[in-house]
Amino acid sequence: MARLAGFEPTTPWFVAKYSIQLSYRREVRIISEPGCAPLLGVELPRRRIPAMALDAGAGFDYAYAGTRSHPMRPMTQSMTTLSADAASMATGDKPGARTRLPVVVWLLVCCALIFAMVVVGGVTRLTHSGLSIVEWQPIVGTVPPLNEAQWLETFGKYQLTPEYLKVNHAMSLDEFKGIFWWEYFHRLLGRTIGLVFLLPLLWFWRRGHIDRPLTLRLAGIFVLGGLQGAMGWYMVTSGLVDDPRVSQYRLTAHLAIALAIYAATLWTALGLLYPAAASAPHPRLRRFSWIITAMIAYMVVTGGFVAGIRAGFAYNTFPLMNGHVVPPEIFMLDPWYLNFFNNMATVQFDHRLGAWLLALLVPWFWLKARREALTPRARIAVNLLLGMLAVQITLGISTLLLMVPVPLAAAHQGGAVLLLGAALFANHALR
């Protein structure tokens, strides 16, 4: 036990018994017991005591001996305060809670930036701005055109693209600047997220605030962010060849990777903020919540295809699709599997089907959760999931009926991120 407390037991000259007790100020003090030899007259090493070594509210006995190099000096009953970190661990506080809080705040800031990135990306797509910058220059591209000559040069490069030749051939320089800035800010925000993620990661690692497994996980998220940037450029190149539209496959992959980064970052932050319990008290309810999360992921993928082939501009009626529950054009393409990716009727039907399923599953999940003895955090998470689904479905229907206005469509894309976050929060709270 003495070894657990951070002291090395040696062959004693004089053996004294001490007990480690907890004060009401959450400090661990070493107090000499009545009738025993006085406390050592040497400064004790300031070392952390594992939480398992101490039982909050009750002391334990151990033996410590003086050595020839550190003899015991007579003293009155005295006490030495151990480190504050050891005290917080001993009193039942979560280990390293003080050092974890800045990490949690940093990760939540990254989540907010990713959310903003998805919204700005949606506006960039909806305003047809994504093909306005025809080069990928991660460093040099940070600086926009600064004078008329540079603007004319940038505009001249855009004039060689299929989008200008086939769609925007009458566009003026001022109109080009309007679409340029949306794409520029989208890329600039991506670079900002990379720096905001990498620099604190290196600092926390260097200061020892994150352990090796967490460092590797966060490094993996950073690598995924680099892959996201590469996928974004790969998506843009698909619209610079013949067809002035980006590939719906690459667009969907770009969106899915962004939400995967968001989910991994949020889950890591929640894990640091609320460490896992020994066992899940509601395993069935938690499995149900994961099914709902999988359905939301399905909705994100189908939504990417809706955006990619602009299926939101067709079948602008609800709840029926131009008077049909299932549109007759749903399998008009051959081979049949292409309908799920290229047919507006099929793609929109799949997206609507996911919304109907969530509209049934989430209230059912909410009702089941009400019958369980949940923690306050879990109950808040379940209510938040139901409320966020109602908001997202309302945004989706409004976007469809009003034929995809930019503000509503961008809010609907951002709502998908928040809905996924609410589902992950519910999953985590039910652990």
Q: In the 3-class helix/strand/coil scheme, how is 400-423 assigned residue by residue?
A: HHCCCCHHHHHHHHHHHHHHHHHH
Lowest mean pLDDT among 78-87, 301-310, 315-324: 78-87
Query: Is pLDDT of 315 > 90?
Result: yes
Predicted local distance difference test score (pLDDT) of residue 45? 45
Q: What is the pLDDT of residue 243?
A: 84
The answer to whether residue 102 scores a pLDDT higher than 80 is: yes
Query: Which pLDDT score is estimated for 97?
Result: 59
Instruction: Tell me the per-residue pLDDT of 138-177, one tens digit each, with 9 for 90 and over.
Output: 887 889 999 999 999 999 999 999 999 999 999 999 999 9
pLDDT in the model for residue 96: 54
* pLDDT band at 328; cut points 50, 70, 90: very high
Please give the average per-residue pLDDT across 276-284, as a whole number. Answer: 73
Q: How confident is the model at residue 64 (pLDDT cuts 50, 70, 90)?
A: very low
For residue 54, what pLDDT is reported?
A: 40
Q: Which pLDDT score, from 0 to 100, does residue 254 have?
A: 96
Q: Are the CB atoms for 230 and 286 separated by under 8 Å?
A: no
Q: Are 256 and 304 in contact (CB under 8 A)?
A: yes
Q: Residue 266's pLDDT is what?
A: 97
Question: Considering only CA atoms, which of 19, 37, 17 is closest in space to residue 28?
Answer: 19
Distance separating alpha carbons of residues 285 and 431, to the nearest angstrom: 10
Structure confidence by residue, pLDDT tens digits, 4-29: 444 444 444 333 443 343 333 334 44
Which helix (H) or strand (E) is 364 found in, with range?
helix 344-370
Q: Specify the residue for token string 């890591």.
A: 268
pLDDT score, position 84: 37
Whether pLDDT at 198 is above 60: yes
The radius of gyration of the chain's CA atoms, rounded to the nearest angstrom, is 30
Spatial strand order of the sheet with 28-32 comes to 28-32, 15-22, 60-65
Count CB-CB contacts under 10 A for residue 117. 20
- What's the pTM? 0.77
What percentage of the chain exceeds 90 in pLDDT? 68
The per-residue pLDDT of the chain, averaged, comes to: 82
Burial class (CB in 10 A: 0-12, 13-18, 19+), 126: buried
**Whether pLDDT at 87 is above 90:** no
Residue with tokens 């003495």: 2
